[in-house]
Amino acid sequence: MVFWFSGTGNSYSLAKKIADSLGERLVSISLEMDQHPEGSVLNLAEGERLGFVYPVYAWAPPKMVLDFIDRLKAGNAAQKSQPYVYSLCTCGDEEGKTTDILRKHLMRKGFTLVSAFCLKMPNNYILGFDVDSKVVEDEKLQKAGTDLKEIIAMLLERQKDVFHLLPGSMPGVKSSVVNPLFNRFAMNVSKFRATEACNGCGICATVCQGRIITVRERPVWGKECTQCLACIHHCPKRAIEYGKATTAKGRYLHPDASGMRKAMAAKPKPDIFSKS
């Protein structure tokens, strides 16, 4: 089973290719959290791997990913042997202590992270930076595609103790100091706005990982924003802004972003989890 979380399609694309190659289920963390906010019991098929694919947010996993793991119950994953557990995070440049944070949350739920990887993907956090140039974007996508083939080969062989990470400089400081500040102060939805270019298509509500957007002629944002910025990047009219921070910035979508939109619009399959 491959769990994914994605704003612009970077992590979704990698997760789908992994799931297709391994012949295993592809599951949206966002949709499962929406369906089972109280927590769910995980049911794995015999021998099924357990993977997590997600972006790095301020040098840590997105809060929703960690909340999902914290509410997860093993169910029949408490089999004769522990499942093969792996993770793949995506980042613009570096991950800090992201993988270590995820590993600790998994350990608290009784799972051991066997192998983990990190890949550079095009930048999309336009509240702090601009998108990468087209040249850099293409270079990152090409290299990530090549590296992913090697990762999939290792996952097929269930290789253990493989950790290809990108901690960068001062990873402990960035993950332990900057990330808590990000989670506390950067989740403000008050600056989101839709311009007159908005046609009320509802794509922003479909791709919202926090499931907090409702469209009443124009989108309205609720609480518990994940800062995935999917609403901004997926808008076909470029009608969504975040204060003045995004007005002069570019937009980015992974080439497989349309597949992500279809996945987010699909009805969750009821047989993946049972309620706790």
Q: What is the pLDDT of residue 79?
A: 53
| CA gap 189, 57 in Å, rounded | 17
Q: Which domain holds residue 19?
A: 2-174
Residue 26 lies in a domain: yes
Residue 168 lies in a domain: yes
Q: Which two tokens stand for residue 253?
A: 């979508």
For the chain, the C-alpha Rg in angstroms (whole number) is 18
Q: Which two tokens stand for residue 189?
A: 């939805």
Residue 203 lies in a domain: no
Residue 232 lies in a domain: no
The answer to whether residues 124 and 7 touch, using CB atoms and an 8 Å cutoff, is yes
Q: Name which of 261, 237, 253, 14 is nearest 132 in CA terms.
A: 253
Task: Work out the number of other CB atoms within 10 angstroms of the CB of residue 215.
Answer: 16
* E strand spans, the chain: 2-4, 26-28, 40-42, 50-55, 72-73, 85-91, 113-120, 163-164, 192-194, 213-216, 218-221, 240-242, 273-275
DSSP per-residue codes, 50-62: EEEEEE-SSSS--
- Angle between helix 98-108 and helix 63-70 axes, rounded to 10 deg: 20
Residue 230 lies in a domain: no
| CA gap 208, 228 in Å, rounded | 8
| CA gap 152, 270 in Å, rounded | 28
Size (the chain), residues: 276
Per the structure, the count of domains in the chain is 1
Residue 47 lies in a domain: yes
| CA gap 87, 54 in Å, rounded | 8
Residue 194 lies in a domain: no
Residue 165 lies in a domain: yes
Contacts 24+ apart (CB under 8 A), 25-29: 25/1, 25/272, 26/2, 26/263, 27/1, 27/2, 27/3, 27/272, 28/3, 28/4, 28/263, 28/264, 28/268, 29/3, 29/4, 29/5, 29/54, 29/64, 29/65, 29/68
To the question of pTM greater than 0.85 for the whole model, the response is: yes
The CATH number that applies at residue 48 is 3.40.50.360
Q: What is the pLDDT along the chain (276 residues), one digit of tens a residue?
A: 999 999 999 999 999 999 999 999 999 999 999 998 888 788 888 899 999 999 999 999 999 999 999 999 877 655 557 899 999 999 999 999 999 999 999 999 999 999 999 999 999 999 999 999 999 999 999 999 999 999 999 999 999 999 999 999 999 999 999 999 998 888 889 999 999 999 999 999 999 999 999 998 999 999 889 999 999 999 999 999 999 999 999 999 999 999 999 999 986 655 555 443
